[in-house]
Amino acid sequence: MGALRTARDVLRPMIDGPLEYRLRRSAGRLMPALDQTGPPHLFHACVWKTASQWVRLILSDPRLLRYGGHAPFIWAHLRDDPGEARAYRAAHRSLLLTGYGTPEMLLGQRDGPMRGVFVIRDPRALLASWITSTRYTHRPNPSVLAHRAVMSEMTDKGALSYAARAFVTEFAPVLDGWAQVGAETQVVRFEDLTGADGEDAWRRLLEHLGLALPDAVLARVLRTYRIEALAGTGSSKAEADKYALRGKRRADFENFPPDPAVAEPLQQWMHAYGYG
């Protein structure tokens, strides 16, 4: 398995995102589905900073998808590639991954019912992680660069206040929307998936999706994508890694900020999702 992972890491820079998931769908078609009695259309919704790339790697593993016959698609690819959107809508059985949008944006991708999960994280940790990432560690993109340009002219205190308000603006539509989910959506905690009892949390998640994996298969899939291995904890750059940082800075934000424009929605989200 180590050799396969190395080959994957070498080849991944040569393969763009849509192609990677077309290959995953092709691999799934080569292995006949073992069970197609569960819901035909599934989704993985989330907010940023909830290990979304890790979760989607696990959920799109062909060994796992063999137990439902679902074709995996990435939400962002549907927005950017009309061909991917058409393929998704034509799929007999589908799994939509890393849906960062509101319920209306995600569930509106197709007609008919969908069953899924929404992955949440302690809002205090989300705030801390997003600020650290946006200001320092996230790879440059137009949104990150725009925020950094504004903060570059500020003191540390001013940049922290600005970033906290920006966090509320960007996260509010998604967090408010998924707080009102129905029975077809299971709210799943990031802390449970990555904690000591993570395998049990994953089993409950998959049962909700109607994917009845044998315990031995689930254990092998989770070993392939161990979050500790992805974190690079042995690397000198581990402190800048998005997984290595998980939760470490939350204490700095436990009582932050006094600004009602941030503190009030933060408290509302903690209450809505059962934190504190």
Q: What is the pLDDT of residue 25?
A: 74
Instruction: Match domain 2-272 to its CATH number in 3.90.420.10, 3.40.640.10, 3.40.50.300, 3.60.15.10.
Output: 3.40.50.300
Place of tokens 């205090």: 124
Give which of 43, 54, 60 is closest to 96, Cα–Cα: 43
**Residues 116, 118: Cα–Cα separation, whole Å:** 7
Q: What is the pLDDT of residue 33?
A: 74
Q: What is the pLDDT of residue 230?
A: 59
Low-confidence ranges of the chain (pLDDT < 70): 1-17, 27-31, 227-258
**Residues 87, 276: Cα–Cα separation, whole Å:** 42
Q: What is the pLDDT of residue 276?
A: 76
> What are the domain boundaries of the chain?
2-272
Q: What is the pLDDT of residue 244?
A: 41
Whether the model clears a pTM of 0.85, i.e. scores above it, the answer is: no
CA 69 to chain centre: 21
Q: What is the pLDDT of residue 22?
A: 74
- H or E element in which residue 184 lies: none
Provide φ and ψ at 32, rounded to 5°: -55, 140
Q: What is the pLDDT of residue 71?
A: 92
